[in-house]
Structure 1
Amino acid sequence: MILRRVIEHVKEQNWTAVALDFFIVVVGVFIGIQVANWNEARGDRALGEDYVQRLRADLERDFVATSDILNYYQAVRDSIVEADRLLSTDDGDARQLVIAAYRASEFASTPPNRATWDQIVSSGHLGLLPDGAVGSDLSEYYTFDESNAVTISRVEGSSYRQAVRSIIPLDVQIAIREGCSDVLNDFLVIAGFMNECRLQVDSSVLTATAEKLRSDPEISEELRYQYSRVASVINNSTGNVVLIERVLASLGGSEEKS
């Protein structure tokens, strides 16, 4: 329609009308581009807000899980210290030694909720996040958690864990798992040990097991190295808790989670 009018005005040599038609076309194109840009920007803002909400939910779950993992490994560390003390004496409580030695070999691992983060990175949408969240803390958290997972895997595959569970009879291990083992949080993640340890095992079996643990010099040696592994997990998990708090603050979440 507009092209036909322009042709007619050119034939008539009505240059004023031609100029006016051209102006109308330019303004129409400009407005169309601006509207498209505005719609795109509005869509980006909505997508960015959705990312932020999903990241908050992921990180809040991670905060609870990581805090529980931290508490769990602190309990494992305490069991290592207790087992070391009881191994060094011949008249220590056999029941407590077996429990402490077993708990010192425990491990737990909770992977982060990273589906949203991976989607943001793979889609090239980091620019849609708030400026404060695009810094090092967010990417450092997910990278650092991967490093901690490697450290936890070393606890799982430790020679101490293999040695002590090779010595403790299977029926004793089953009894420990049934009445003296892990508890789960609301997310079904291991959060600590049972407060009350009910171990239904004959005392003579516990005494014989404690003697085997004390008589094996590798147990004490591996136990000391187990301490360093668990201490590394505790340090890393503590760092992850701090990172999560900072990232939540940058995303507009609560700065004080603990």
Structure 2
Amino acid sequence: MILQRLATSIRKQDWFTVLIETLIVVLGVFLGIQLGNLNQARVERNSEQVLLLRLQEETRSLLDTQKEELAVHGPRIELATDANAVMFSLTPSRPLTNDECWAVLVSHWIPSPTEALSSLDELISSGRFDLISNPSVKSALRDYAVVQERSRAARAEAVNELFRLHVRYPDAIWLEVGGAEDAGYVSPSAGRDDKGLVWRYNCDIDQIRGNKGLLSEYSDNIARLESFLDRYEHRIAVLTVLDAELTKELGTSGSRRESDAAP
């Protein structure tokens, strides 16, 4: 309607009316754009709130998982350290304990850690990282993305050449299967199958102490294992900072964002 009146005024050369109605049109368009921008900003704030809550939940869950996995793998280094002095002839010879023998036999074991933050991966892959407005949260997320990428690259390099000592030196370190009723030389970490059989770990300390190749490869495995455990420490440290920043952001802005989300 207003455009029809504007056209009629132009034909009548009623320039004052043309000016007024033009201003009304321009103002209407401007207000429409502003309202659209405000609505879009509100939608983005609500989306960010949902994302931050997801990130916080995932971060805390991953922190717990990282600590649990470190608690599982950390004792392997302690056991290996206890065995080192005997293996490298720094102390009088003695048989390795069941757990020490297990730690030596699985010194090559570097499993894939649980390290993914699904929401962060989605943000990066979708190019929506700027949806996060808080610079401290963004910085913590970037730090974890860097740590995660370095961790993956380091593990890929570490597992490229690991030495399965019980395969390469079966006279010094070997596995055998026995009955569950035969406690004997069984590690608490030994596997048990449905038929009541157990894996038993065997280490001949005399064969180990005199084998330079085995000791060199074992040392290589241990160095990679130590690096593997260090990366757990790095991830936990960065995730702890990220959790603190998310808690701070959600705690200080939660009430404001909840009011934005209200109808």
Normalising by the residue count of structure 1, what TM-score does the alignment of the two structures yield?
0.74
Residue of structure 2 in register with 1:247 after alignment: 242
User: Unaligned stretches of 5+ in structure 1?
Assistant: 183-198
Q: Give secondary structure in 2 for the equivalent of 1:171.
A: strand
Quickly say closer, same or farther: Cα 1:17–1:82, change in 2 above 3 A: same
Q: Normalized per residue, which structure has more helix?
A: 1
- Counterpart residue type for residue 171 of structure 1: E
CA contact (8 A) 1:56 1:251 kept: yes
Normalising by the residue count of structure 2, what TM-score does the alignment of the two structures yield?
0.73
Q: Work out the number of aligned pairs and report it.
A: 233
- Counterpart residue type for residue 237 of structure 1: Y
Distance in 1, Cα, partners of 2:100 & 2:136: 50
Is the aligned partner of 1:72 residue 2:72? Answer: yes
* Cα shift readout 1:189-217 (whole Å, capped 9, x = no counterpart): xxxxxxxxxx775xxx847x455444433
CA contact (8 A) 1:97 1:210 kept: no
Quickly say closer, same or farther: Cα 1:113–1:236, change in 2 above 3 A: closer
Is the aligned partner of 1:217 residue 2:212? Answer: yes
Distance in 1, Cα, partners of 2:124 & 2:199: 52
Quickly say closer, same or farther: Cα 1:67–1:94, change in 2 above 3 A: closer
Give how far 1:158 is off: 4.8
Q: 1:99 aligns with which of 97, 102, 107?
A: 102
Q: How does 1:110-121 map to 2 (within 5 A)?
A: 110-121=113-124
**What do you get for the CA RMSD once the two structures are aligned?**
3.3
Quickly say closer, same or farther: Cα 1:55–1:97, change in 2 above 3 A: closer
Q: 2:138 aligns with which of 108, 129, 134?
A: 134
Residue of structure 2 in register with 1:24 after alignment: 24
Distance in 2, Cα, partners of 1:174 & 1:245: 46
Quickly say closer, same or farther: Cα 1:77–1:94, change in 2 above 3 A: closer
Residue of structure 2 in register with 1:230 after alignment: 225
Is the aligned partner of 1:59 residue 2:59? Answer: yes
- Counterpart residue type for residue 180 of structure 1: S
Choose 19-28 or 226-235, whichever is displaced more. Answer: 226-235
* Cα shift readout 1:103-154 (whole Å, capped 9, x = no counterpart): 434333224223322321233322221221122x322212222322343445
